[in-house]
Amino acid sequence: MESRQIFDKEERNKLLFSNIKVDPSISPFIKNRFEIISSSESYSELLKTIKEENIRIEGFKAEYLILDGDFTEKPNRREKLKDLGYRIEGIPNFDNPSITYSICNYKNFWYFGILTKQNTDWLKHNKKPSSFSNSICMIIAKTLVSIASTGNKNNKLLDVCCGVGTIMLEACFSGFNIEGCDINLKTCKHARHNLAHFNYSTTVYCSDVKDLNKKYDAAIIDLPYNLYTYSNDLIISNIIESTAKLATRIVIMSISGIETIIKKSGLKIHDFCTVQKRGKSKFTRNIWVCEKEN
């Protein structure tokens, strides 16, 4: 679903070609972004085009990117990195590079470009001070943010029923503009505590979503599970309808089948998937990507 919503296509062989440029750190699944500078069926021709780029930069690093179907042996990869390094003017820095250049081979084509890796520092959120046993995991939270935003950091997001702020943590880490709201004072305090613990600055409203009057590009709703917070169809309907007044794009997650309620709220379902909750309490979370009907 994330691939479809960000790139409008699904990856194949763990790889996807796209003209859409996103920060790989917004996603738990995107490991690298490789920006192609030049390509050729001939390796020697690729080296020639790299030399013609006249790249002059200090502190660069050269790295070989191994893709599916590339069986180039390690010694051969090292030789190719030397070939690349000799065609860039400047002193390399292997520990803290200013930029990483890379070469790779895919389906008998050679590519040269800039490699950007995912920043995995978001894993520190695993040690957030406050949590609930049924809180969504960081991977789901991170994915919901990237799906709601379609990877666009200019979009303003709202986390409805924000709980302890799991979704907000991932959005803040990735540089998204997000605010949250929750009707429960205790969970709002937990959310603020978690955000402050990691030095993130944003707003958590202790409020029913119906009382907000701001506009957002997209909203995320992780609906109450009727465990710690009471919920029924009327409450769910009110939450969705109130959110639809604030944002035109809404990502909804629920452990119940609520397609009828979503459609009655004037929303059109554009995408759907399910995620299994594992552990002592096993259940399935349903995720819908919705937009307002014209």
Q: Where are the domains of the chain?
A: 32-117, 120-292
- Please enumerate in sequence order all residues whose Cβ is within 8 A of that of 280, keeping only pairs 6 or more positions apart, or say none: none
Query: What angle is formed at CA 3 by the lines to CA 67 and CA 46, rounded to 5 degrees?
Result: 35
- For 32-117, give the CATH class: alpha beta
Residue 28's pLDDT is 96
Q: What topology is assigned to 120-292 in CATH?
A: Rossmann fold (3.40.50)
Whether the model pTM is above 0.85: yes
Residue 231's pLDDT is 61
Provide the strand spans (E) within 41-98: 60-64
223, burial (CB in 10 Å: exposed 0-12, middle 13-18, buried 19+): buried
Residue 280's pLDDT is 60
Report whether 221 contacts 243 (CB < 8 A). Answer: yes
Q: Which residues of the chain have pLDDT under 70?
A: 133-134, 225-231, 278-282, 294
- Please enumerate in sequence order all residues whose Cβ is within 8 A of that of 3, keeping only pairs 6 or more positions apart, or say none: 9, 10, 11, 16, 29
CA distance 111 to 63: 12
Residue 228's pLDDT is 47
Report whether 102 contacts 64 (CB < 8 A). Answer: yes
